[in-house]
Amino acid sequence: SAVISQKPSRDICQRGTSLTIQCQVDSQVTMMFWYRQQPGQSLTLIATANQGSEATYESGFVIDKFPISRPNLTFSTLTVSNMSPEDSSIYLCSVEDRDDEKLFFGSGTQLSVL
């Protein structure tokens, strides 16, 4: 199993600013995943982050808007850049348990953009 510490848990930001979300895992993991959940919607995968290489983004998401860092096997950050009210969502990081093929999730970051 894996325990993920995600922060901040929530934030209220002004449009045009940027917010960096951090995820710390208590064990080394190969891949970390970043999801977005817009109000009342399901989770949408933003990107997959491997250590030592650029993140792989899903259709509709670009690096300039959602830059991701993965400096080591236990840590990753997602930045939401030049925010607008449409970016108001819950952002979630997750990692895969290689033995069981299941995902563990952080507790989420609830972002509101005014």
Applying CB under 8 A, the residues found at the interface with another protein are 4, 6, 31, 33, 37, 41-43, 45, 48, 90, 92, 94, 96, 100-108, 110
Report the nearest approach of another protein to the CB of residue 64 (Å): 22
Report the nearest approach of another protein to the CB of residue 41 (Å): 8
Task: Report residue 48 as tokens.
Answer: 């997959």
Residue number, 22 or 48, with CB nearest to another protein: 48
Phi, psi of 70 (to 5 degrees): -145, 75
Residue number, 15 or 102, with CB nearest to another protein: 102
How far is residue 47's CA from residue 85's CA, in Å, rounded to a whole number?
Answer: 21
Residue number, 62 or 97, with CB nearest to another protein: 97
Examine residue 8 and say whether the peptide bond preceding it is cis (omega within 30 degrees of 0): yes
What H or E segment, with its residue span, contains residue 53? none
Return the SS3 of 87: helix
